[in-house]
Structures are given as C-alpha cells and as structure tokens.
C-alpha cells in the first residue's frame, strides 16, 4: 500500500509542471497561428491603406476658354488642324485668368505646375470629339499634377514638393470647391507613364491577358494530354519513371531558371521577339505544366476503375473509354488544377524579367507579338520609382492583382465543390 | 456510307472515324510543313543571301556578320541602316527581298497542294474494311506521348541551355576563380584595353548572402510553421481547422512581388526604425527585412507538409501514449514528432530550396552590392538578385557579364535539385511503415 501511494505522490508532484508545459505548448501553437494570420492581416491592411487612395484622382476646376482664334483660326473643323492646336497654352491662359494677381514669371511657372501635363491631351481629345465646343468656355475638371494629388490626399505627411505659395493657391481653390477628388478612371484606362497621375494599368492588364491566354492555350491541352498518357497508357518502365521524376523535379525548379531557359532558347535560339507576351506565355507554360500534370493525374486517379472496366466491357476501345467516360468525369479536377496553375502564372514575375518584359511601355499591347509588360512586373517597376505618387499606384495595382487571384481561386473552389464526387 | 449502302454493320469502324482519318491525312502533313517552313525559312534565306555576297565580304567574324545581316534586313524592309549602303549590300538586300517574296508565295501553294494530296489519298484508301479507328487512335496516342515528353524536353532544355552558356563563361573565367573567389564585381570595362577590364567573378559572397537570407527565413518559418501544424493537427477543433488551414495557405498564394513590395516599403523601414531606437545601425536594404518576409512566405510550405505527415501518424500511437498517462505535449514531442520527423525534415528541405531560389523578394528588398558578412543588419546580395541585375536591360550576349548569369543559374539549378532530391530521399528512406 505504501509503495503505491509513493508512486502516486511522485506522479502528482510532477503533474502540475507537466500540465503547465502542456498549456505552454498549446499556447505557443495558438500564438504561432495568430502570428501567421497577423502577418497576413497586417500585409493586407498596409497595402489597402496605401493603395485605396489611388482609386481617386484630384482635379482642378478651371473655366477654359476654347478660343477659336487659338484652336481653329480658319474654322476648317479639320481634325488635323484641331489636333495640332496649342491646348497646353489654353490651359495656361485659363490658369492666368483664374489667378490674375500672379505676375512674376517664376510664380507663373509654379502655377502651371499644378495641372498635369496630360490635361492638354484630355482637352485635345474632347475638342476632337466635339468640335462644337470651340468658342465656348466650359468649366472643366482638369487632372492635377501628382504632387498636388499626393498633397491633397495626405496633407500632413507630404508637401515638400510644393512651396507655400502653391499650397495657398490650392487652399483657395479647395475653399471654393474647385479642387475635388474624382473616381480615377485613368488608372484603368491608361498605359504606363512617367507622370504618376497619368499612369494606368491597362497596358499591364492587357499584357497579362495575352500572356495568360498563350499559357492557357498551350498548357491546358499539353498538360491534360501528358497526364492522360502517364496515367492511362504508359507502361510501367524506366522511361515513364524517368518522366515522372522529371515532372516532380521541374515543379520545384526556381522560376528564374525558367526565365534563363526562355532567354537562351526562345529568344536567342529561335529568335522570337523580346518583351512579347508570346515568349512570356511559352515560359510560363513550361513553368505551370508540372502543376497541371500533377493535378490532372490526381483527378484521373480518382475516377474509379469500375467505370473503365464497364466501358471496356461493352466493347469500347481504350480511346473511346477515355474520351467518352473517363475524361468528362475527371474534367472538373483538371480544370481546378489548371486554374490554380494560371493563378500562379498570373502572379509570376522573375522569369518575365529575364525575357525583357520589364521595358517601359506606354502603348497598350494589341496582340501576342507586341512588346508588353504584365501586372506583377508593372508592380515591380512602379515600386522602384522614386516618385511618392507611384507608391499608392503600386499598392493599388497589387490590390487589382490580388482581386484577380482571389476570383480565380474562388472559381477553383466553386468548381471543386460543385462537381466533387465521392465514389 | 454509300459504299456499304447505309449498312453500318459492314463498316469496320464507326462512320465518323473515317472522317477523322481523312481530316488527319489532310491536315497533319500540311501542319508539319508549315512548322518546318516557319522555323527554317529565315535562316535558310539568310544563309543563301550571305553565300551570294561577293568574296571580299565573305570571311567575317560572327559579330560583324550578324551586323551585316541586320543591315541587309533593314535595307530590304526599308528601315534605316547603320552603315553606308554599298552596291553589294544593296544587291544582297534585293536578293533577300526576292527570296522572302518567293517564300511567301511558295508557302501557301505548297500547303494547299499537300492538303489536296492528303484528301485525295484519304478518299482513295477509304473503304469499308479500312481499319480507320485504330489508325486514328494510334495518332492520338503518339500525340499524348509527345505531350508527356515535353517535360523531358524542358528539363533537357534547361540543362543544355544553362550548361552551354555556363561552359562558355568558364572558358573566359576559370572555374576555380568562380567557385572560390572572394570578390564579386561583374562590371566590365567597355574597351578591352581599359584598366581593370575584367571584373571579379568570385561567387562566395553571393553564396554567403543567399545562405544568410535563407537562414533568417527558415528560422522564422520553421518554428511558426511547425507549431501551427502541431496546433492544427492535435489541438484545434475541426471547425477552427477548416477555417485556419486555408487562411494560412493564402500566404503561399500571394505573388512574390507583393511580398517584395511589402518587404521593401513596410518591413525594411520598420526594421530600420526598430534598430535605430536601440542604437543599432541598420542598412535600409538589410538582410533581416528580406529574410523575415521570406520566412512569412514559407510558413504555409512547412505547416502544410508537416500537418500532412503528422496526420499520417496512426491514431493508435496517439491514443496509446495518452492512455499511458502522457500529456498532450509529451505525446506530441516524444511520440508524434519523432514518428513524423522524416516528413518534417523533407518539408524543411523543400522550403530551403524555395528560399534560395526565391527572386522577387530579394530583388526588391535586398541589396545589389556583394558584401561578405554574417551581420543580418547589413545589406547582402544573393545569387538570384545577381542573375536579375546582370540580365535586365540590354546586353551583349557574348560578354562574360551576361554569361556569368547563366553560370549562376547553373549553380542555382544544381543546388535546388540537390535539395529536392535529398528531401525526397529523406522522406522515402526514413519513413516508417505503419500499415
């Protein structure tokens, strides 16, 4: 009896310590998860906090006199004449009229800096579209310069690039309701630009679109065909083993190495154009193929053998079994894998840097051979820009990219839920 | 159908297979020809044009030759040329234009003839006993085999292209200098005779920088990832698990360029401010910031893989340990983790291979100057950063500077491959069978 109670006492002595340690481990685990999720939340909030303001754009209201003598002295209404008129001069004139007290040349130059250099092009486009406006004096909302934009959005943290006089003018405009924020349509409508207030993501979006189009068009059929062969037809021998090991290793090769491959093979050897979505798509195809093949094989594996045996039993050939029964059943799984692969490809940057998709490109690409850049590369380029105004653009572009990725992943989850079958 | 007067039973295959058969005969040779033509006509024409050049211009070094070809091409298409237009050049350009024109004209004709020939042949050979279906299926099968081989071709392409360029690099810079040199400054003078014309290509500082950042990343990711996995697998209720696991995996789905932005513009200033507040000098491109953020990125790799292997440990071991009176923590650290260790080690190795191959975070948040140091507060550079800096922008393809990038790529490829193979080996070799 004594012996047993001794043991019991010994165990109980250590028990509180052991329980404490148990609680400690549990708390550490919870802490680790919270830390991970905290990072995630912190990242999201800091990016949204930096980027949301890019969806608004500061504009200045100015009555611009569309003087017929300056635009179209001979009243020809010829687009060529209208295109070559000095719209920047008209805006400067309007600014001088708005602030008649400014006389000094240096101050005038400071005044002109308030309005974006892109405003003249907007005015030109407006007049070209509607020549009847010539002669009137419409009150136009002109895009402000990026320094004004940044100052107006964050007056307390910035403003070193504007002097006190400029700020005073802006205060005056603001007090009279002539300085306002509008939804920034230019951000979705323009290509890249050196002027932050005119820079938009359309060029990068279209570049991404074409690149992903090429990637999808190549990697979906190739990936599925490869998976079908390996899963349904391949004999088990050294060669297929070798292919399998290869695919698994390719999935873990750093993406930048694929960029080197693209540079050496597609650009140097085959002489395809640099910076083209075609080459980008080819490189990303090679990169996403392993993902798609692995997912497609898993989907094919999940189709029960009874289906194959039944089809073969009623006299279908192996190809007929495959195309009529197995593939349709495995398709949702394959598509899920493909969407996830495409999401990866959409966010990929490093290999595209190698093949020259980092060039500064203003024009929106119109095909797979035009020089283009893609959204992640655009983010990288903007993040490197010294102008403060590009910071919010970068964050906003990240928000757009993440929105696309979230949509694609939701689509994949929806597809999986909708068509998931348990056999 | 007419041949068997509507009686399908007398056909060998279903009617549409005969259609597929003819379509295949029509399209396949034409497509092959098209591919061949497009890949060959440029080089063939260039070759012909070069051969037709006067003897005086024949023996040229490759670089001048390519310049000449460019001139001819530009002249032929009406662009601006770089040098004087000599009559020989003009003649060559005319010749070039003529050949191009001929090629454009010939191609559709040839394709059309081939297609017609295919149709004719197809229609001729079709009769009820023709085994159309097996023939069609054989072609499809070859298509599938071809697709499966693309993976091999890719690997082969990577190895060959990187190896080939790297070998050219090692002809210019000795292998020993590359592997054991302590200095990395790839700037090369433009003229050959300039002072300090050859840069230094010692890769040790890059290794050191890569390892430093990867170590920081892993020392963030391994504890957090492992503890999360343990919590999720053993303590969390199923409800929490279904929510938290996908949330953590979001971290793996975020593009690396976003992490790079976050590291460079949010974390690096924070680290700097924190360092300064305790009186430390921190570089604005410190290895610490890049490593920290990379660690966050790697958390889900470790947590997912560890979670899987922990779940693969049979429940009987867990139950047995608890029944003996062990606490949860004791069960985990003395029973479950040792049993799952090979899988966990494999996961860590895979994460390490990710860490050294990761590019965008370090490109945006780490420095470009090679710096041999173990101080995480200083700026270091990595292999991937150097590849990007060497190759972005216009470059001459023959200079050691460009070729160095391929040598670095080779090193990177071999290193990650070894880590992956090692990870697979560890998982396979030391996995205990519990079935």
- Nearest-CB residue to B359 (from A21, A47, A350): A350
Nearest CA-CA partner of B264 in B240, B293, B239, B236: B293
- Measured distance CA(B194)–CA(A115) in Å, rounded: 48
* pLDDT tens figures, A199-242: 888 888 999 999 999 999 999 999 999 898 888 888 877 877 88
- Which of residues 267 through 286 in chain B touch A, CB cutoff 8 A? none
Name the band, by pLDDT with cuts 50, 70 and 90, for residue A416. Answer: confident
Share of chain B above pLDDT 90, in %: 12
Query: What's the pLDDT at B195?
Result: 47
Name A58's bridge partners.
Answer: A181
- Nearest-CB residue to A36 (from B228, B260, B330): B228
Contact A423, A302 (CB under 8 A): yes
Name the band, by pLDDT with cuts 50, 70 and 90, for residue B111. Answer: confident
- Termini Cα distance of chain A: 58
Name the band, by pLDDT with cuts 50, 70 and 90, for residue B84. Answer: low
- Measured distance CA(A196)–CA(A387) in Å, rounded: 8
**pTM value?**
0.83
Test A349 with B255 for CB contact under 8 angstroms: yes
Taking the CB of residue A409, how many other CB atoms lie within 10 A of it? 18
DSSP type of residue A59: E
Q: Packing angle between helix A164-175 and helix A146-153, nearest 10 degrees? A: 70
Query: What's the pLDDT at A159?
Result: 60
Average pLDDT value for chain B: 79
Name the band, by pLDDT with cuts 50, 70 and 90, for residue B402. Answer: confident
pLDDT for B240 beyond 70: yes
pLDDT for A72 beyond 60: yes
Name the band, by pLDDT with cuts 50, 70 and 90, for residue A342. Answer: very high
Tell me whether B420 touches chain A (CB under 8 Å): yes
Query: What's the pLDDT at B1?
Result: 43
Which range (A307-321, A324-338, B33-47) has the least confidence? Answer: B33-47
* pLDDT tens figures, B139-163: 888 888 888 887 778 878 888 888 8
Contact B321, B330 (CB under 8 A): yes
Query: What's the pLDDT at B224?
Result: 93
| Between B57 and A382, the higher pLDDT residue | A382
Name the band, by pLDDT with cuts 50, 70 and 90, for residue B128. Answer: low
Which range (A87-101, A327-341, B194-208) has the least confidence? Answer: B194-208
Name the band, by pLDDT with cuts 50, 70 and 90, for residue B63. Answer: low
- Measured distance CA(A76)–CA(A219) in Å, rounded: 55
Test A249 with B412 for CB contact under 8 angstroms: no
Which range (A195-209, A285-299, B83-97) has the least confidence? Answer: B83-97
Test A22 with B327 for CB contact under 8 angstroms: yes
- Nearest-CB residue to A260 (from B144, B162, B330): B162
Minimal C-alpha gap between A203 and chain B (Å): 18
Q: Which residue has the tokens 């660690």?
A: B295
Query: What's the pLDDT at B13?
Result: 66
Q: Which of A227-241, B14-28, B337-351 has the highest mean pLDDT?
A: B337-351
Interface test with A, best of B44, B258, B328 (most A CBs within 10 A): B258
Q: Which of A77-86, B128-137, B305-314 has the highest mean pLDDT?
A: B305-314
Test A222 with B147 for CB contact under 8 angstroms: yes
- Which of residues 147 through 166 in chain B touch A, CB cutoff 8 A? 147-152, 154-155, 157-158, 161-162, 164-165
* pLDDT tens figures, A237-271: 787 788 888 888 888 889 899 988 888 888 877 77
Contact B157, A265 (CB under 8 A): yes
- Measured distance CA(A79)–CA(A71) in Å, rounded: 11
Within 8 A of A35 by CB-CB distance, chain B residues are 224
Contact A401, A346 (CB under 8 A): yes
Rounded to an integer, the average pLDDT of B111-118 is: 79
Query: What's the pLDDT at B146?
Result: 83
Rounded to an integer, the average pLDDT of B383-410 is: 79
Query: What's the pLDDT at A422?
Result: 64
pLDDT for B194 beyond 60: no
Q: In chain B, whose CA is at the least distance from the CA of A289?
A: B151
- Measured distance CA(A358)–CA(B160) in Å, rounded: 26
Query: What's the pLDDT at B197?
Result: 47
Test B256 with A349 for CB contact under 8 angstroms: yes
Which range (A46-55, B13-22, B26-35, B235-244) has the least confidence? Answer: B13-22
Test B151 with A257 for CB contact under 8 angstroms: no
DSSP conformation letters of B213-232: HHHHHHHHHHHHHHHHHHII
φ/ψ of B107, rounded to 5, equals -55, -55
Contact B21, B136 (CB under 8 A): yes
- Measured distance CA(A354)–CA(B255) in Å, rounded: 17
Burial B145-173 (b: 16+ CB within 10 A, else e): bebbbbbeebbebbeebbeebbebbbeeb
Q: In chain A, whose CA is at the least distance from the CA of B223?
A: A32
Query: What's the pLDDT at B2?
Result: 45
pLDDT for B107 beyond 90: no
Query: Do the bridges between strand A179-183 and strand B200-201 make them parallel or antiparallel, or are there none, so unpaired?
Result: unpaired
Nearest CA-CA partner of B344 in B311, B310, B385: B310
Q: In chain B, whose CA is at the least distance from the CA of A229?
A: B144
At residue B329, the 3 state secondary structure works out as helix
Query: What's the pLDDT at A214?
Result: 92
- Alpha helices, DSSP H, located in A138-237: 146-153, 164-175, 186-189, 202-228
Query: What's the pLDDT at B158?
Result: 81
- Close Cβ partners of B74 (under 8 Å, ≥ 6 residues apart): B80, B81, B82
Q: What is the ipTM of this complex?
A: 0.87
Contact B326, B295 (CB under 8 A): no
Q: Tell me the count of A-B CB pairs closer than 8 A.
A: 260
Minimal C-alpha gap between B225 and chain A (Å): 7
Q: How far, in whole angstroms, is CA A43 from its chain's centroid?
A: 16
* pLDDT tens figures, A366-404: 878 888 889 999 999 888 887 778 888 899 999 999 999
Tell me whether B32 touches chain A (CB under 8 Å): no
Q: Which residue has the tokens 């989850």?
A: A413
Query: What's the pLDDT at B269?
Result: 87
- Measured distance CA(B258)–CA(A401) in Å, rounded: 9
Domains of chain B: 2-130 (no CATH), 200-430 (1.10.3720.10)
- Measured distance CA(B305)–CA(B324) in Å, rounded: 29
Residues in chain A: 423
- Close Cβ partners of A233 (under 8 Å, ≥ 6 residues apart): A318, B141, B144, B145
Name A179's bridge partners.
Answer: A60
Residues in chain B: 435
- Measured distance CA(B122)–CA(B117) in Å, rounded: 8
- Measured distance CA(A167)–CA(B55) in Å, rounded: 72
- Nearest-CB residue to A21 (from B230, B254, B329): B329
Which range (A297-311, B99-113, B256-270) has the least confidence? Answer: B99-113
Q: How far, in whole angstroms, is CA A371 from its chain's centroid?
A: 17
- Nearest-CB residue to A398 (from B258, B387, B417): B258
Nearest CA-CA partner of B12 in B141, B140, B134, B119: B134
Test B158 with A253 for CB contact under 8 angstroms: yes
Rounded to an integer, the average pLDDT of B183-202 is: 61
DSSP conformation letters of A122-153: HHHHHHHH-GGGTT---EEEEEBPHHHHHHHH
């Amino acid at each position: 009896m004594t012996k047993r109670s001794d043991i019991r006492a010994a165990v109980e002595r250590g028990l509180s310590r052991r329980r404490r340690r148990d609680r400690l481990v549990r708390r550490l685990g919870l802490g680790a998860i919270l830390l991970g999720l905290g990072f995630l939340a912190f990242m999201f909030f800091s990016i949204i906090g930096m980027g949301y303001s890019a969806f608004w754009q500061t504009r200045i209201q100015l009555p611009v006199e569309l003087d017929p003598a300056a635009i179209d002295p001979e009243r020809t209404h010829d687009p060529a004449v209208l295109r070559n008129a000095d719209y920047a001069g008209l805006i400067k004139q309007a600014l001088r009229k708005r602030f008649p007290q400014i006389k000094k040349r240096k101050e005038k130059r400071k005044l002109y800096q308030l309005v974006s250099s892109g405003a003249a092009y907007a005015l030109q486009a407006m007049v070209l579209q509607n020549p009847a406006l010539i002669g009137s004096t419409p009150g136009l909302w002109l895009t402000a310069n990026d320094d004004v934009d940044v100052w107006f959005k964050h007056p307390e943290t910035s403003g070193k690039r504007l002097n006190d006089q400029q700020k005073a003018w802006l205060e005056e405009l603001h007090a009279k309701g002539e300085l306002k924020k509008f939804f920034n349509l230019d951000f979705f409508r323009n290509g890249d630009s050196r002027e932050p207030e005119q820079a938009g993501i359309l060029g990068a979006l279209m570049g991404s679109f074409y690149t992903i189009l090429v990637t999808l068009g190549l990697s979906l059929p190739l990936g599925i065909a490869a998976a079908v062969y390996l899963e349904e037809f391949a004999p088990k021998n050294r060669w297929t083993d070798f292919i399998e090991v290869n695919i698994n290793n390719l999935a873990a090769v750093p993406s930048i190495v694929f960029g080197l491959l693209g540079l050496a093979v597609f650009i140097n050897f085959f002489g395809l154009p640099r910076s083209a979505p075609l080459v980008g798509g080819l490189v990303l195809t090679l990169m996403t193929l392993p993902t798609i093949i692995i997912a497609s094989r898993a989907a094919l594996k999940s189709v029960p053998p009874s289906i194959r045996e039944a089809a073969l039993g009623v006299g279908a050939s192996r190809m007929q079994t495959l195309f009529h029964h197995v593939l349709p059943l495995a398709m949702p799984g394959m598509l899920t894998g493909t969407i996830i692969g495409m999401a990866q490809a959409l966010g990929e940057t490093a290999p595209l840097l190698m093949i020259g998709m980092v060039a500064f490109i203003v024009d929106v690409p119109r095909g797979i051979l035009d020089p283009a850049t893609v959204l992640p590369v655009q983010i990288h380029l903007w993040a490197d820009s010294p102008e403060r105004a590009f910071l919010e653009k970068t964050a906003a572009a990240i928000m757009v990219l993440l929105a696309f990725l979230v949509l694609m992943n939701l689509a994949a989850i929806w597809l999986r839920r909708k068509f998931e079958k348990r056999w | 159908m007419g041949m068997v007067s509507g009686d399908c039973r007398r056909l060998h295959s279903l009617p549409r297979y005969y259609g597929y058969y003819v379509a295949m005969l029509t399209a396949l040779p034409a497509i092959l020809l098209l591919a061949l033509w497009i890949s060959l006509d440029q080089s063939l024409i260039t070759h012909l044009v070069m051969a037709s050049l006067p003897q005086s211009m024949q023996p040229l070094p490759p670089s001048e030759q390519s310049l000449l070809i460019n001139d001819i091409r530009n002249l032929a298409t009406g662009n601006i040329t770089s040098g004087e237009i000599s009559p020989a050049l003009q003649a060559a350009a005319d010749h070039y234009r003529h050949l191009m024109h001929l090629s454009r004209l010939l191609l559709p004709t040839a394709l059309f003839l081939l297609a017609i020939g295919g149709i004719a042949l197809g229609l001729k050979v079709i009769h009820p006993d023709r085994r159309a279906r097996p023939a069609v299926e054989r072609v499809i099968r070859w298509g599938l085999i071809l697709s499966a081989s693309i993976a091999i071709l890719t690997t082969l392409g990577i190895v060959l292209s990187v190896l080939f360029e790297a070998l050219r690099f090692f002809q210019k810079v000795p292998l020993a200098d590359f592997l054991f040199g302590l200095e990395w400054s790839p700037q090369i003078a433009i003229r050959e005779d300039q002072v300090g014309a050859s840069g230094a290509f010692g890769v040790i500082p890059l290794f050191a920088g890569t390892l430093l950042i990867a170590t920081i990343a892993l020392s963030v990711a391994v504890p957090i990832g492992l503890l999360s996995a343990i919590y999720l697998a053993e303590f969390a209720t199923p409800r929490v698990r279904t929510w938290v696991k996908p949330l953590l995996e979001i971290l793996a789905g975020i593009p690396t360029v976003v992490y790079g932005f976050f590291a460079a513009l949010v974390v690096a200033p924070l680290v700097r401010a924190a360092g300064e507040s305790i009186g430390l000098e921190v570089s604005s491109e410190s290895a610490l910031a890049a490593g920290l953020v990379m660690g966050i990125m790697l958390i889900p790799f470790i947590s997912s893989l560890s979670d899987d292997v922990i779940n693969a440990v049979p429940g009987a071991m867990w139950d047995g340990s608890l029944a003996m009176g062990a606490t949860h923590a004791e069960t985990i650290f003395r029973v479950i983790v040792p049993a799952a260790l090979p899988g966990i080690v494999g996961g860590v190795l895979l994460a390490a291979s990710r860490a050294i191959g990761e590019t965008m975070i370090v490109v945006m948040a780490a420095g470009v100057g090679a710096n041999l140091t173990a101080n995480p507060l200083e700026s270091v550079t990595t292999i991937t950063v150097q590849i990007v800096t060497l190759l972005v922008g216009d470059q001459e393809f023959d200079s050691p500077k460009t070729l160095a990038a391929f040598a670095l790529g080779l090193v990177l490829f071999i290193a990650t491959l070894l880590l992956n193979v090692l990870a697979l080996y560890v998982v396979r070799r030391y996995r205990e069978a519990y079935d």
